[in-house]
Structure 1
Amino acid sequence: MTAPAPAHVIADDAEALAVAARLAAEFRTGAAARDAGRRLPRAELDRLSASGLLAVTVPAEHGGAGVPARTLAEIFRRLAMADGSLAQIPQSHFVYVNVIRRQGTPEQQKFFYAEVLAGRRFGNAQSEAGTKHVQDIRTRLTAAPDGSYVLTGVKHYSTGALFADWIPVLARAEDDNLHVAYVPRDAPGVTVVDDWDGMGQRTTASGTVRLDAVPVPADRVLPHHLTFQGPQLHGAVAQLLHAAIDTGIAGGALEEAAEFVRTKSRPWFESGFDTAAEDPLLIQRFGELDLRLRASRALLAEAARAVDAATADLTDETAAEASLAVAAAKAHSGDTAVEITSALFEVAGTRSALDSLNLHRHWRDARTHTLHDPARWKIQHLGRHVLTRTPPPPHGLL
């Protein structure tokens, strides 16, 4: 593993948001070209690492800013407004930093937090194809005689793995309990294949990870199954970031649609106005879309506040409230992202469909990202809670 360039250490929430805004402005330039040519954002990710933004959730006692969920969600929203693909890549990074906070020993926390502060990136090797369902994990972590482990399996949709320094791998031990093994990207037996060919999020490199008898020291394995024995926020934090990405994609698309109408669209001849931006029917539609986006942003902020409140006082009740708030934000933001990215063409007109402009990347990113997990089940959990006060299930996707 090669040493990264020294990373800046961000001090607080205000600096984290300022850095996110600056990087988003940089990443917006060239986002359309990166998508069109499927040019992977290696340089941009190196900038992200060097900025210190990937270490903002490292607790203060370990040298980080320890920012709350509301700040982290806003960071992701801003990045996704600029580039919906690039913003998706570090989502797993923060999820697996959070696993270390919950399940790492003091020694593991000291080691891995130092890695993150130095600019190291976590990818993921979590999902598998061809199994019964998403939680049917068949990758195996087998104990060796010396107390270490051997890791074997194949993972798909491994966003961030190609660009990672460490790949957290979700696997089952011999007792069938779930663990996370943190494996160096260049470890013997690890192969990362850039075979992602999705119509959207083209530059996330969410391909395949093959694990062929990968040796794993015992101190690089965390007992993830313990996360779900008691109140937890693992799924709420992960889903909050997905909701922030959807909200950001929607916001970026609405901004680009408005700019297009102001500068490039012709007025419809029946309107009687000199510019398209004066057309009252377009004004009405933009108002409707803005209203929907504002609702998604409000739900995202409320969900982040619920996660922060539960973090400060973690009980079954506060964890359930956080999960429900995040479920509402995720369901709403997904619909908003698909609606606004589709409406972009409705309000901007025929020219907006030109492939050379690549405005369709917003819709492709939204449509692809919102397939991550079905919103209909989140709505089911909200409905059950309203009718029968049934708490949401404590799994990692809610």
Structure 2
Amino acid sequence: MSETTCAHEAAPTAPHASAHPLISPLSARLGFAQAITDIGRTAAERELAHRLPHEEIAQLKALGFGALRLPDDAGGQGLSLTELFGVARDVAAADANVAHAFRNHLFLVESALRRADHPFHARVLTLARQHKTLGLSFTETDVPGAGARPSRVLTMLAWQDARGCYTGSGKKVYATGNLYSDAFVGTAVESRHGRTVQYVFDRGPGVGSDDDWDGFGQRLTGSGTARFEQVSIPAAQVFAVDPPPRDDAAPWGYTFHQVYLTNCIAGIVRRVLHDGVAVLQSRKRNFYHGDADLPADEPVLQALLGRIRAYAASVEATIDRAIAALQQAWDSHGTAGEYDAALAASFAAAEAKVVIDDLAPQIASWLIDLGSGSAVSRQAGLDRHWRNIKVIASHNPRLYKERLLGQNALHGRLPPTGAFF
């Protein structure tokens, strides 16, 4: 037999493994590799001990994670929207709680970049440039029924003439990320002229955040109750509301929220694959009815790991499609193609959520199959992946997305224009 037709040629040599298998080259180039690695290494331990990631989030702030979309000459890195989601997915693969906690801040920055000439949004960008993060003082509606809209927290800002400032009080539920925020934004009616205004105020006296979120997943996002008791807001940080959008402007302005959350789930799925490799490599005993001495050499387990890898790649490709559509919508802002691009992005976000919300929990459950009894230890914390996926997915459940997609295919129904679409 000739050398070129030998049936026993050596297998190709495996490429050198990356020092940071969860981290993209972009995150490494930006200097985030060590921080993300550290966050990932302690994620299970923090989950078990319920240790809030104050230090981890502060480290990402200091590195400029919250300012990545700002131009180079304005204190940022000038990343595209697509690149931002790539770095955020790396953070989510390390710890989805940490990535999730930045969502509202990053959306506020996105909004401000489009309206940087408005003083309210200029203030948002200034805080981002200073590596501070912003939380919301909007709340979920207390009005039951379909079509209800979020209500204000600081309903009225009372003018304090002697102090030259406004004061306000209120309470926000589901205040994701507020526990870690340096400043807060919202809208209210101010008492001097009865106008609806926008405001920005710094964390200070009267601001409190309760760690009372009792969900079974995403337990470290700071999604508890935010309390504002007679907080002081300087008059210079109270602004006129944004002008109404153009008649021909695309009305879908909140697709970012949904894409960001689904992107976090994609990060968790990437971590499931990483943990699956570690589980097989660490197991030293196989079942007596297996075909190999070591689990890592067991054909059925190798096949399951391969299935996890393939599904994880499909999940990332699916969310990348939605991100690309959102990037196109961003690039089309203010042009004749804005409406169609924004509508396409809303549908792409819904399609990605339907698919990924269905697949991701299954992928996380395969991780337990891969490890058998070795994977159910509370210390290992591998169950957190399934729990975190389900909690993130509960934001505007996929059932409503499926209904919309079907109604659009049949009757041309358009998506709602509120948050998460």
TM-score range, shorter chain: 0.7 to 0.9
Pick one of 208, 215, 221 that aligns with 2:225: 208
**Offset from partner CA, 1:205-236 (integer Å, 9 cap, x none):** 21111233444336444636946973155321
In the TM superposition, what is the alpha-carbon distance from 1:25 to its structure 2 partner?
1.1
Pick one of 211, 226, 244 that aligns with 1:194: 211
Does structure 1 residue 185 correspond to structure 2 residue 236?
no
**Offset from partner CA, 1:310-353 (integer Å, 9 cap, x none):** 11113211100011111222232223332222221112101211
Q: Which sits farther off after the overlay, 101-110 or 342-351?
A: 101-110
CA contact (8 A) 2:158 2:190 kept: no
- Code of the residue aligned with 1:338 in structure 2: it is P
Pick one of 259, 264, 268 that aligns with 1:240: 259
Q: Distance in 2 between matches of 1:333 and 1:325?
A: 12
**Offset from partner CA, 1:78-111 (integer Å, 9 cap, x none):** 1111112111111111011123234554434443
Give secondary structure in 2 for the equivalent of 1:241. Answer: helix
- Counterparts in 2 of 1:225-374, with a 5 A limit? 226=244, 230-232=249-251, 234-264=253-283, 266-314=285-333, 315-374=338-397
Does structure 1 residue 135 correspond to structure 2 residue 149?
yes
From the superposition, tell whether residues 381 and 223 of structure 1 become closer, same or farther in structure 2 (CA, over 3 Å): farther
In the TM superposition, what is the alpha-carbon distance from 1:121 to its structure 2 partner?
1.4
CA contact (8 A) 1:96 1:168 kept: no
CA contact (8 A) 1:85 1:203 kept: yes
From the superposition, tell whether residues 234 and 156 of structure 1 become closer, same or farther in structure 2 (CA, over 3 Å): same
Give secondary structure in 2 for the equivalent of 1:251. Answer: helix
Calculate the TM-score normalised by the size of structure 1: 0.86
Give secondary structure in 2 for the equivalent of 1:97. Answer: helix
From the superposition, tell whether residues 321 and 137 of structure 1 become closer, same or farther in structure 2 (CA, over 3 Å): same
CA contact (8 A) 1:126 1:169 kept: yes
CA contact (8 A) 1:103 1:226 kept: no
Calculate the TM-score normalised by the size of structure 2: 0.81
Structure with larger Rg: 2
Does structure 1 residue 384 correspond to structure 2 residue 407?
yes
From the superposition, tell whether residues 59 and 233 of structure 1 become closer, same or farther in structure 2 (CA, over 3 Å): farther
- Counterparts in 2 of 1:88-103, with a 5 A limit? 88-103=100-115
From the superposition, tell whether residues 176 and 256 of structure 1 become closer, same or farther in structure 2 (CA, over 3 Å): farther
Pick one of 63, 70, 73 that aligns with 1:58: 70
CA contact (8 A) 2:408 2:414 kept: yes
What's the Cα RMSD here?
Answer: 3.0
- Code of the residue aligned with 2:288 in structure 1: it is F
In the TM superposition, what is the alpha-carbon distance from 1:157 to its structure 2 partner?
1.4
From the superposition, tell whether residues 240 and 20 of structure 1 become closer, same or farther in structure 2 (CA, over 3 Å): farther
Instruction: Could you tell me which runs of 5 or more consecutive residues in structure 2 were left unpaired when the two chains were aligned.
Output: 1-24
Q: Distance in 1 between matches of 2:341 and 2:49?
A: 45
From the superposition, tell whether residues 173 and 313 of structure 1 become closer, same or farther in structure 2 (CA, over 3 Å): farther
From the superposition, tell whether residues 386 and 20 of structure 1 become closer, same or farther in structure 2 (CA, over 3 Å): farther
**Offset from partner CA, 1:126-160 (integer Å, 9 cap, x none):** 33375426734153433556797554432111122
Report the counterpart of residue 79 of structure 1 in structure 2: 91
CA contact (8 A) 1:179 1:225 kept: no
- Counterparts in 2 of 1:9-88, with a 5 A limit? 14=26, 18-59=30-71, 62-88=74-100
CA contact (8 A) 2:156 2:188 kept: no
From the superposition, tell whether residues 225 and 22 of structure 1 become closer, same or farther in structure 2 (CA, over 3 Å): farther
Structure ranking higher in helix proportion:
1
Give secondary structure in 1 for the equivalent of 2:31. Answer: helix
Q: Distance in 2 between matches of 1:228 and 1:254?
A: 46
Q: Distance in 2 between matches of 1:322 and 1:176?
A: 37
CA contact (8 A) 2:296 2:302 kept: yes
Report the counterpart of residue 5 of structure 1 in structure 2: none
From the superposition, tell whether residues 232 and 296 of structure 1 become closer, same or farther in structure 2 (CA, over 3 Å): farther
CA contact (8 A) 1:103 1:227 kept: no
- Code of the residue aligned with 1:347 in structure 2: it is L
**Offset from partner CA, 1:3-47 (integer Å, 9 cap, x none):** xxxxxxxxxx94676434432212112111111111111111121
CA contact (8 A) 1:161 1:185 kept: no
Does structure 1 residue 165 correspond to structure 2 residue 188?
no
Q: How many residues align?
A: 385
CA contact (8 A) 2:136 2:178 kept: yes
In the TM superposition, what is the alpha-carbon distance from 1:182 to its structure 2 partner?
2.4
Give secondary structure in 2 for the equivalent of 1:206. Answer: coil
Q: Distance in 1 between matches of 2:221 and 2:58?
A: 14
From the superposition, tell whether residues 294 and 98 of structure 1 become closer, same or farther in structure 2 (CA, over 3 Å): same
- Code of the residue aligned with 1:169 in structure 2: it is G
In the TM superposition, what is the alpha-carbon distance from 1:287 to its structure 2 partner?
2.8
In the TM superposition, what is the alpha-carbon distance from 1:246 to its structure 2 partner?
0.4
Report the counterpart of residue 8 of structure 1 in structure 2: none
